[in-house]
Amino acid sequence: MVNVKATFGLALPLSAGYSAWDYNLNFERMREVVMACEDLGFDSVWAPDHVMLGRNLETLEAWTVLTALSQATETMRLGTLVACPAHRSPAMLAKIAASLDVVSNGRVELGIGAGWNGAEQLAYGLPWEEVPKARVERLVETVEIVRGLWTSDRFTFKGKYYSVTDAVCLPRPLQKPSPRIHIAGRGEQLVLRAVARYADGWNIDEVSPEDYAHKLDVIREHCRMVGRPYGEIEKSLETYLMITDRPEQEERIIEWMNWQTNSNPERIRQGKPPVKLTREQVKKEIIFGPIEEVTERLGQYIDVGVERFMVCFMDYPSLNTILPFAEQVVPSLA
């Protein structure tokens, strides 16, 4: 594996239609792609946590997929990108992740956010808070309980939303003191403050290098306010990416991004009007184009502070981008 300034993981599309070239879900093909990526030097694989998303709202459950992939891989880290606090009680989330850490020989990373898809929460009868502050409060309580269960013989916590009493999480995770927790999100006053206080890592998606740099400045200030070393927090970016020099493929990517935006069930639930994203708007936030352009864009993110990329390849499950990305792009960033 080439020594580079950043590490690269594979972000899996677990919902039908979340590849611009293949609208189906095929776990066997998914497993083959993940194994190929491990051989190519990808350090991790990441699964989104949804229950109703994609074409026909067809999606696979994240922890089930990661558990299966733990037996098909040997070195790749296994993470959620990102877990929704309201999908499981914090104690059950801690138990599930601890069990997978044992089963995978210490490879779990917990990515978690405040949650955004009220449509699936309400459909499944799960807790949903319309006010973002309340969702962030649930997130913080979840992180406190999960870490407490991972690192204590017995743990008691009473919060506004969640409580545990004399709870035990054995066997504990193999990683000591615990698996790393990455908090994802962009809200500067609430989420990024929680990152500074509680997170081992921070993740965001679909943002320009300039906006990413601004968010880092906000995190740096929050760290100063809470007395936390800024350098303790790993900075990561989830991004869609595809290598192509064909105009018709670029047009397909733009059409796909428009479909994905306008078919978003939460957007529909809120009654938001359809949008028409331009090529310039799409290009600002995701990465596609000839190999030289893709390499340059990744370098821009590295220059502003990205340390890890979770890459969702838009032509998945083919290896048409994955192979040149691993064999040409990554070494050129060394």
pLDDT in tens, 182-214: 999 999 999 999 999 999 999 999 999 999 999
Query: Above pLDDT 70, what percent of the chain?
Result: 99
Does the pLDDT of residue 3 top 50, yes or no?
A: no
| pLDDT surpassing 90 at residue 33 | yes
What number of helices (H) and strands (E) belong to the chain?
13, 11
Residue 2 reports pLDDT greater than 70: no
pLDDT value, residue 5: 83
Instruction: Report the amino acid identity of residue 15.
Output: S
Closest CA to 179 of 117, 251, 83, 94: 94
Per-residue pLDDT of 45-75, as tens digits, reads 999 999 999 999 999 999 999 999 999 999 9
Pairwise CA distance, residues 115 & 118, whole Å = 8
Over its C-alpha atoms, the chain yields an Rg (Å, rounded) of 19
- Identify the structural domains of the chain with CATH numbers, from first to last: 7-246+287-332 (3.20.20.30)
Arithmetic mean of pLDDT over the chain: 96
pLDDT of residue 4: 59
Q: pLDDT value at position 1?
A: 38
The per-residue pLDDT for 215 is 98
Q: Give alpha helix (H) positions in the chain.
A: 27-40, 62-70, 90-103, 118-123, 132-151, 191-198, 209-226, 247-262, 265-269, 279-285, 291-304, 322-324, 330-332
Query: Which residues make Cβ contacts (< 8 Å) with residue 76, sequence separation at least 6?
Result: 9, 10, 34, 37, 38, 42, 43, 44, 45, 69, 107
